Structures are given as structure tokens and as C-alpha cells.
Amino acid sequence: MKIYISGLYCGTNPQPGVGIARSLRLAYPDATIVGVEYSNRSSGIHWTDFDELWLQRPWEELNLAAYGEQIREVLDAGALWISGSDLESMWLAGVFPDGHKNLLTPPAGGLQKITKPAVPAHKGLPVRIPSFVSTDLSDWDLHAFCRQHDWRVWLKGPYYDAVRTRSWDVLVAVRSSLSHVWATERLFLQAHVSGYEESICLSAYRGEVNGMVRMRKRELTEEGKTWAGDVTEVPEEFAAPLRKIIRELNWTGGAELEMVRDAEGQLWLLEWNPRFPAWIHGATIAGRNLPALMVEAATGVAAQKAKAVCEEFTRVVLEVPVRSQFPLPALPEPYAGGVGHSMKHPSGLPALAERLHKMNAIESNGNGHNNGHSNGNGHGHADKSNAPVVPPSFVNDLAAYDFTEMETPSWLFLGSTAADLFKRAAKVANSLTTPATRVVNAYSMKTNPDERLVKLAYESGFLAEAISLLEVQKALSVGFKPEQVILNGPGKWWPEGMLPKSPLHAVFCDSIADLKRVVASMERGELQSKIVGVRLRTPNIASRFGIPVNTPEDFKKLVNAIALLPRDSTFGVHFHMASSNVGVRQWWHLYESMLRWCRSIEKLTGRDIECLDVGGGWFPDDWHGDADDQFATAVARARDFLPNVKQIVSEPGKAMAQPSMALAMRVLEIQEAEGETEEAVVDGSIAELPMHFFQPHRILRQDARTGAWEPLRRGKTHLLGRLCMEHDIVASNVELPEGVQAGDVLVFCDAGAYDRSMSYVFGRG
Amino acid sequence: MSLAEDKFFEVNETDFIDASAAIEKWQHFPASFISHHGQPCCDVGREWILSMDFSLLNAGNPLTGPRWLRNKYKWGPSAWPLHWCEAAEQKTLDCGALAALSQEIFVARGVRSFPVQLIHQYSEHAASQWCKAWNSDDANPLHWIKEDLIYHEGCAVVVRDNEIKVWDATATWWINAKQFGGYGGVLAIRVIDSQSAAPGALQWGAHRIVPNQWQKLARARADFA
């Protein structure tokens, strides 16, 4: 018996070839085992269980047609072939569309049903698929997915590689890197699931399962790879539907279903790998030699019975002699300033992926989007649109501007959009107000102090929230009365001498020292405020603001300090954390946790909390979308925890300002390469869009012929800002429509919040 | 000295371990609990711990183990009785204190939870090390050590119906219900249910656990053996 086994890479993310060989050697001591590898850098070629080696050139050099024929000859001669590489299996499925009795790899039809992340074949198994979206979506929608999942997301390559992307700038950088490595824009984002990792591994021949095991990872490497595990029987409620699926797929070969079990015991399927896992010999140690069972089924030659040694296995690092015929290759020279290391894919798997793409051999199906709104069971739909939706009011407001003579870059106030937003916010607050508890909005002046927005806030019944006395004066100048102003933040007394003489609505102390200063100032009659309270520092999310409660000592100091506050003023608590940064679900958890801290403070100080001021940093879509029910629940929860609360102040922040302004800029120059627009220079820059690193902007371009405004789709063009700064790239991966030329106007929407207020003068002489 | 001479790698064979004597030793040993002075000092400590736990849950599942306790506290001797105000301010806590706090935390999260007492097997060498670390001697033997066996505490949480998981608050892991004995293995368990008038049996993996009594754990066999 002769068995060819590929996938001998044995680095920190190993392939299964060596494990398969070890298991087969136990079952068939006299078999000739041939190791197949595509790089002499893969250390598995030196493993002693291989009687022979068939070392190929790396995939980028291989003549695939000739190689395919050579494999056919090997198989026709009676040898078996077990692949240890996903991509090799996919390629072989194309070379042998009707299969081959000695080829122990899955058929093309089966492979199409296991493409990640949707893994269509999973239906019937007691698993769920974590929410995912394709990076075909617009940046706007990808950002929304990240917020929705608290930035606990993985950006994954089509076959290998997965990187946690905890912020927008990281996501953009990793996307660029993975797209380059795998020569595709078709990556996907998937929600992280916390829990313990476990796998089901099986072997099958022509649709019949030969054996299966369950393995729980008991030790992990830093890359999340198995280092130790326990191997047990697969529960029948999983095994029965899996056998049925394997039959339907007419599966041959090994397979590993990688899953996470969450705290409630729910299994989430991450991947279905079309091969044995690298830990496969662990199953053999436990007494279930899956490769041998498969070979036995394929050949009818009885394998020696596996002896169960122990159902737990672990790995050790072993040094083995290098085969004399295959001396170690030289180590690539480190780049200047870099750290030397072996190549990640020595056999050239990315090159194979690219070649298979070109041959359309591995086009995946059913991998659209499954964005958490469904039951997470892989019922994704393939949405081919990759342009963001732009509200019609944006376009209507743009009609008020004449762009022909407009100097650019130029800020555009979207008047009706802004008015509608404030009107809606006022309506929501009114609808949540009850006789016992008034809900009111406050406009955070720092978000954008543009007088038109401040005036809209005033006219819409907002309070004004200021972080300096200059901001207080600005609010007053627009029409706010001091009793409509909330003073907040660590620098609220700056500059001196500008404090209004009449009472403010509320003052929130940012530190114990600040609290003592407020108390002293009130005692002297210098400061008057209807509400005096404290800002709490979020204990679970790093923040420099507010009074900390991180230790029992901190908490005790806070409790004692609150006792100093004048009894004749109303007591309130404020907290703030940008939901766009921490994610929507985590923000609501923070809200709930803050209510608990407030209840504790109320209980320990004996002071009723009558005012709760909640800051949000809300991304507009999250606030104006379908959050009304959540707001109603939030108000009810506040009343549950704090029965004495009479006023809830909501600071929607950038939810108001961000959509209210756009930035018009002109194309200065278009740079083409190989017929495609790769880069275009614009007269805008990160000086006008400093939030570019934190959020995408929807970009509109007016069709010169029809006058219609159309959003830019995802593409391959980078829009370079006018500044001579390396990082001045105002948009990545957009598609400039045909016909765009120098002088054309692009409108960057969603720039009315911190883009506007934090924009700076740079490069203007 | 060679390693072999020192029997450095020797681990006791649990097949021959009889936990009966250990159970007898800890038969009347009560599970730890945190006391309350009935004063604001303890209110502050209790409120801080429970509020901090909810914050640090970070939108996670309530059945998630409160690992943060071990970030705050080193493992070491605690003075008993231990009150909330003292527990909050300590730098070190023993396994009983950590277990008791964890159990209070789970209950505050709305999870049904019980104190759990355990007898683990380690080695005489490990026991000797612990005795030194806790400044114990022949005159003051450690109450939680009996030769190579130790008394330990954790807490159980009900995940569904009567099915439990057992949280080791000191090691910050869920104890494997399938036990093979050996170093670190659990030989016996007692789940304390003082809340129910007629406590029903609980299920921990393959083990049927009758509350409020010590029971030895049957040593598991490998599935494919």
C-alpha cells in the first residue's frame, strides 16, 4: 500500500500531514508513506514516518496541468492521496471532477457547500453561524456592522487568516493587507463569539462516515491553535444529522468543524475545513484512528486496531534530524529594520489561491451577509450593492448650492436635514416624558458650535451642554438662558471671570477636587446651579473623565465627597462614553451598569438622584434608526433603579451634528495605471476631515449629464488629500465613476460633527 | 543528583487514593461565606464589588466566570470571619473567600448559584510548598491540607434545569466534570444548597450530585478505551 500525504508544514499554524502519517504508520506499519510538500522550508518533510518524499516546486512555479497528470498517474497506479491543504483539495476537485477511487479528498459539490463563513452545509446541525458580512459592502455599512458588534469582530481571509480589528483604522489597514495577500477584495467580517473552542473531526469515504470524534481545546497557542485537547465521542444529536449531511455531500476525506461553545452551551460554527486537523493524531491517541478508518474503507485492507492510550493529548516541541537529501534552505534576509523569520506560506498558498481565482475554480456561493438581524443561522442573502444609502434630504439640501463657482474645500450646511434631526430628537424626548420624569435633550456645544446648529438646538427645546465658560457664553449669545445650560468637564471654569451671575441648570463635578471647588464656590455665592452632581468615570472602559470608582477606596471617597454637596440643590449623576467607539450593545450594558452604580450611590449617600445626564457619542444611524424602543426601555430602567429621578438628560451629540454638514472638494488630478484609476488627488484633506481615521464618509458625486448625485461605490481608487502628509488619504477603496475629471466636485457627507469642530488650518500658507 | 533518584516526576496513583479519610476530616467543615457588619462600611464594600462586577461583565453572558476577582486579589491566607468591608480592601484572599464572593456575584447577576466544597489531589511536594508559603508548621498545620489531598472551594451555577457547572474562583476556570484523578484531580465534591427546603439532585456532567453531602467522584474512563 502506498499513501501520498500532503500538507507537511509544521510551524506554529501547522498542517495535518505529519499527524496523518503518524496515525497511518500505527495502522499500516508496512505501508509506504510518501510525504508531498511544496517547499523544503516545511519542517514536516523531515519526519521519520515518511518513507519517501515527493517535493514539488512552490505553487507559484508549478505547471498545474502537468502536475495534475502526474497525480492521476500516481492514483491510477493504485496509490492513495490524502490532502492536508484546503486549497490543494479545491484544486484537486477541479482536476478530478468525477473523483477518483484513490483520491481521498472531498468532491467539488461538497466543497461548495462548506465555503465560509455561511457554510451552507451546516443546516440540520445544532449550531449557529456568527453574524458576518462580506467586505463587498460599503465602508459605511462595514462600520455599522462593527458598531453593532461592539468592535468585537474578525476580518477574515477567504481561506486562511483572521485578524481582530478593534477600530476603523485597523480594519482598513488589515483589509488592505489581506486583500493583497489573497488577491481578492472578497474578505468578510465576522462577529466574535466568546467561549470555549471545540471541533468535530470525521473521516468519510463516498458519503459514509468512517468515524468521528469531538475534541475540546484544552491549551491554546497565542494564535488560538490547539496545543492540547481532550477527545470524546460525538453526541448523537450532532452525529446523526452530520452523517446525513456527509451522505448528501457524498463526502470523501477528512473534515473538521471548528466551533465555539458560548457560556450558555450554544455551539457556533466558525469553519468547516475540508481536511483532517493538525491535531488528528490526538484522536488516534484516544483510540479513534480516523485516517486509518478512511483508508480501510477505501481499500478494504484491515487496519491494525487503534489502542486507546488516553483521551487527553498535548503537544511538545521536538527536534528531529534533517534529511541529508534535503538540507535546510537559507533564511531570507530580514528587511532593513525588520525581524528575520521564515515565510508564513512557504509553499506559496496565496499564489495557488490567485491561480484558482483566475480559473474560477473556487468561486464561493452563499457567502453574502448575515448581519445579526436574522437568527444567525446562516440565512444570509447575497447583496451585490456596495454603495451606501444616502438619505434623500442630503441630496435635497445640496440643491441649494451652486457648485460651479464654489471655492473648495467648502463646508456645506444641510439645513433641512439638520432641522429634521432636531425636530425628531425633540419628538422622541417628548414621547418619553411622563408626569414623573421629564426627558430632555442637551446639545453638546463642542460637537459643533456652529451657530445654526446651536440655534436649532435652542429652538427644539434642547439644553446646552458646555465644557468651558466660552462655550457657555456662546450658548447665551444664541439665546439660551443660564438655567438652560449644563456645565461639565475638567476645564469648565476656563477662562476665569465668565461665569453667569444667575443659576445654571446643572454642574457636574469631574473630580473630587472639582467637587470641593464647586462646594466652596456655592458657599461663597459665586456659583449657582439648580442641579449639582458628579460625573462618574466608566470603570470598565478606559477614560480620563469623571470621578473614578475603580477601587473600593475610590468609591468610598466619592460617597464621602457627595455628602459635602449642598442639600438645597438637586443631586444628579452624569456619565459619558462614545457609543460609536465602544459599540452599541456595550454602550447599553454600560448604561445599565451605570444605573447600578447610581443605585449604590443613592443607597450609600442617602441622596436621591433626581437628574441623570447620559452622554452618548452616538453614531447617527444608531440613534435615529430603530432605537426608539431601546430609549423607552432605558427610561423605564432608569425609573426602576432610581425611583426619584425627575429628569433624564440625553446628549445625542454627533447624532445631531454629523449628518448636518458636508464637505465639498474638487478633484485636482487623476492618476491612472494600467487603464484603472488608482489614485486621485483632491483639494480637501484630513485637516478638514480629521475623523477620517475613525469613521468612513459617504461620498457623493454629481453626474455632469443628469445632475443626479450618486454615492461612490467600493472600488480600487484612493483619494489623496492635498497635504504633503503621508497619511493624508481621505478615502480608500472607492470607485470613481467613468468620466470623472479634474475640477469635478465630490461631496463628503457625514462631516458635521468633530470633522467640522476639530478641523484645523494646515498647508494654507 | 539525578532526577530519577529524587522521584521528581512521581505522581500518586489515584487508583489507590481513598478520599474517605479526607472526607471525614472535612465532614463538618462549613463552606465559606462573607459576613456583614450591618454597618455602612460593609454596604460600601458589597455595593462596590457587585457594581464593579456588572460593569466588568462588559455585555457578556451572566454565566461568564468573574475572572476579574483574581486580577484584583492574589491568592493567599484570609482572616476569618471575613466581612464585606474587609474583603473589598484585601490584597489577598483564600479560595473560600474568592468562592464566596463569586457565588454572591452570580446570585446578584440573577444566576442560581451554590457554594461548592472540593477535595483535590495534588502531591506531597505541592503540599509541602503550600505549608511553607502559608507559614505553617507542625504546631500549626494547615487546616486545608491532608498529606497530598487538599480542601478547596468553588461555586456551582445552574445553567439549565438542574444542570450545573462548577467555577473554580481561584484558578478562574470551569472544573472539568470528567475527572481522571491524578495531579489536580477532584476526588470528592459537596454542593451546599441551603436555600431549598428539599434540595433536589443536580447534574454535573455525568455525575448526579446530591446537595449537602460529600460524594466521591467516580473516575472517568476514556470514551474509546
Q: Which residues of A touch B (CB under 8 A)?
A: 150, 194, 213, 230-233, 262-265, 286-288, 306, 308, 310-312, 538-540, 549, 552-553, 555-556, 559, 585-586, 588-590, 592-593, 596-597, 600, 603-604
Q: Letter for the amino acid at A296? A: E
pLDDT in tens, A217-227: 999 999 899 99
What value does the CA radius of gyration of chain A take, rounded to a whole number of Å?
Answer: 31
Q: How far is B124 from chain A (nearest CA, A)?
A: 24
Q: Letter for the amino acid at A171? A: L
Q: For residue A211, what is the nearest residue in chain B, using CA coordinates?
A: B224
C-alpha grid cell for residue A378?
A: 446562516
Confidence of residue A366 (pLDDT cuts 50, 70, 90): very low
b/e map A465-493, b = 16+ CB within 10 Å: bbbbbebbebbbebebebebbbbbbbebb
Q: What is the interface size between A and B, counted as CB pairs within 8 Å? A: 92
Q: Letter for the amino acid at A320? A: V
pLDDT in tens, A578-607: 999 999 999 999 999 999 999 999 999 999
Beta strands B215-216 and B186-191, pairing class: antiparallel
The model's pTM is: 0.93
Cross-chain residue pair A585–B59, CB shorter than 8 Å: yes
Of A308, A552, A603, the CB nearest to B45: A552
Residues of B in contact with A641 (CB under 8 A): none
Cross-chain residue pair A286–B54, CB shorter than 8 Å: no
Cross-chain residue pair A263–B64, CB shorter than 8 Å: yes
Maximum Cα interatomic distance, chain A, rounded to a whole number of Å:
100
Say yes or no: B64 contacts chain A, CB-CB below 8 A: yes
**A77 backbone dihedrals φ, ψ, rounded to 5°:** -80, 0
Torsion angle, alpha carbons of A682, A686, A687, A692, to 10: 130
What per-residue confidence (pLDDT) applies to A381? 37
Residues 5-34 of B with CB under 8 A from A: none
Residues of B in contact with A213 (CB under 8 A): 224
Residue A424 to residues A419, A432, A487, A618, A755, Cα–Cα distance (Å):
9, 12, 25, 15, 23
pLDDT at B210 over 90: yes
Q: How far is B218 from chain A (nearest CA, A)?
A: 16
Cross-chain residue pair B159–A262, CB shorter than 8 Å: no
Say yes or no: B52 contacts chain A, CB-CB below 8 A: yes
Asked if B45 contacts A552 with a C-beta cutoff of 8 angstroms, the reply is yes
pLDDT at A91 over 90: yes
Residue B13: which region, alpha, beta or left (left: phi > 0; alpha: psi -120 to 50)?
beta
- What mean pLDDT value characterizes chain B? 91
Classify residue A436 by its DSSP letter: S
Asked if A424 contacts A414 with a C-beta cutoff of 8 angstroms, the reply is no
Residues of A in contact with B55 (CB under 8 A): 538-540, 590, 593, 596-597
Residue A583: which region, alpha, beta or left (left: phi > 0; alpha: psi -120 to 50)?
left
Cross-chain residue pair A588–B59, CB shorter than 8 Å: yes
Residues of A in contact with B223 (CB under 8 A): 231-233, 286-287, 311
Say yes or no: B40 contacts chain A, CB-CB below 8 A: yes
Residues contacting A752, CB < 8 A, separation 6+: A414, A418, A448, A450, A453, A654, A657, A658, A659, A660, A661, A662
Decide: helix, strand or coil at residue B59.
coil
Cross-chain residue pair B51–A549, CB shorter than 8 Å: yes
Residues of A in contact with B175 (CB under 8 A): none
Apex B84 CA angle, B78 and B85, nearest 5: 95
State the best of B58, B105, B224 to mutate against chain A, taking most chain A CBs within 10 Å. Answer: B224
Asked if A42 contacts A299 with a C-beta cutoff of 8 angstroms, the reply is no
Residues of A in contact with B40 (CB under 8 A): 604
Residue A686 to residues A105, A313, A575, A711, A758, Cα–Cα distance (Å):
52, 54, 30, 20, 10
pLDDT in tens, A547-559: 999 999 999 999 9
The count of other CB atoms within 10 Å of the CB of residue B149 is 25
C-alpha grid cell for residue A463?
A: 439644553
Confidence of residue A383 (pLDDT cuts 50, 70, 90): very low
Residue A280 to residues A17, A78, A654, B67, Cα–Cα distance (Å):
9, 25, 52, 32
Chain centre distance of CA A744: 34
Cross-chain residue pair A552–B48, CB shorter than 8 Å: yes
State the best of A23, A152, A555, A602 to mutate against chain B, taking most chain B CBs within 10 Å. Answer: A555
Of B40, B63, B178, the CB nearest to A264: B63
Asked if A38 contacts A29 with a C-beta cutoff of 8 angstroms, the reply is no
pLDDT at A725 over 80: yes
The count of other CB atoms within 10 Å of the CB of residue B36 is 14
Of B48, B54, B60, the CB nearest to A555: B48
Cross-chain residue pair B52–A549, CB shorter than 8 Å: yes
Residue with cell 445625542: A652
Cross-chain residue pair A586–B223, CB shorter than 8 Å: no
Residue with cell 498558498: A349
Confidence of residue A362 (pLDDT cuts 50, 70, 90): low
Separation CA A517–CA A487 (nearest Å): 14
Q: For residue B88, what is the nearest residue in chain A, using CA coordinates?
A: A552
Q: For residue B47, what is the nearest residue in chain A, using CA coordinates?
A: A600
Q: What DSSP assignment string belongs to A654-718?
A: HHHHGGGEEEEEEEEEEEEETTEEEEEEES--TTT-GGGGT----EEEE-TTT--EEE-EEEEEE
- What mean pLDDT value characterizes chain A? 93
pLDDT at A378 over 50: no
Decide: helix, strand or coil at residue A267.
strand
**A231 backbone dihedrals φ, ψ, rounded to 5°:** -120, 125
- The residue-averaged pLDDT of A213-236 equals 96
Residue A290: which region, alpha, beta or left (left: phi > 0; alpha: psi -120 to 50)?
alpha
pLDDT in tens, A300-333: 999 999 889 999 999 999 999 999 999 999 988 8
Counted residue by residue, chain A has a size of 765
Residue A426 to residues A442, A627, A756, B87, Cα–Cα distance (Å):
10, 15, 23, 47
Separation CA A169–CA A153 (nearest Å): 14
What per-residue confidence (pLDDT) applies to B16? 56
Cross-chain residue pair A603–B43, CB shorter than 8 Å: yes
pLDDT at A285 over 70: yes
Classify residue A537 by its DSSP letter: P
Residues of B in contact with A589 (CB under 8 A): 57-59
Confidence of residue B13 (pLDDT cuts 50, 70, 90): very low
Cross-chain residue pair B51–A593, CB shorter than 8 Å: yes
Q: For residue B89, what is the nearest residue in chain A, using CA coordinates?
A: A552
Cross-chain residue pair B57–A265, CB shorter than 8 Å: no
Asked if A369 contacts A381 with a C-beta cutoff of 8 angstroms, the reply is yes
State the best of A194, A551, A596, A607 to mutate against chain B, taking most chain B CBs within 10 Å. Answer: A596
Cross-chain residue pair A552–B89, CB shorter than 8 Å: yes
Task: Choose between A189 and A704: higher pLDDT.
Answer: A189
Confidence of residue B4 (pLDDT cuts 50, 70, 90): very low
Element (H, E) at A157: none
- Cis (ω within 30 of 0) for the bond into A495? yes
Say yes or no: B45 contacts chain A, CB-CB below 8 A: yes
pLDDT in tens, A172-206: 999 999 988 888 878 999 999 999 999 999 999 99
Decide: helix, strand or coil at residue A220.
strand
Residues of A in contact with B43 (CB under 8 A): 603-604
Of A311, A540, A596, the CB nearest to B223: A311
Cross-chain residue pair A600–B88, CB shorter than 8 Å: no
Residues of A in contact with B222 (CB under 8 A): 286-287, 308, 310-311
pLDDT in tens, B137-149: 888 889 999 999 9
C-alpha grid cell for residue A539?
A: 470603570
SS (H, E, C) A41-103: CCHHHHCCCCCEEEECCCCCCCCHHHHHHHHHHHHHCCCEEECCCHHHHHHHHHHCCCCCCCE
Q: Letter for the amino acid at B63? A: L
Burial class (CB in 10 A: 0-12, 13-18, 19+), A764: exposed
Torsion angle, alpha carbons of B145, B148, B149, B152, to 10: 60
Residues contacting A117, CB < 8 A, separation 6+: A129, A130, A132, A156, A188, A190, A270, A271, A367, A370
Residues contacting A344, CB < 8 A, separation 6+: none
Chain centre distance of CA A412: 31
Say yes or no: B60 contacts chain A, CB-CB below 8 A: yes
Decide: helix, strand or coil at residue A135.
coil
What per-residue confidence (pLDDT) applies to A185? 79
Classify residue A619 by its DSSP letter: -
Q: Letter for the amino acid at A689? A: L
C-alpha grid cell for residue A191?
A: 462577529
Beta strands A80-82 and A2-6, pairing class: parallel
Separation CA A399–CA A397 (nearest Å): 5
Residues of A in contact with B160 (CB under 8 A): 265
Task: Choose between A469 and A704: higher pLDDT.
Answer: A469
Residues of B in contact with A606 (CB under 8 A): none
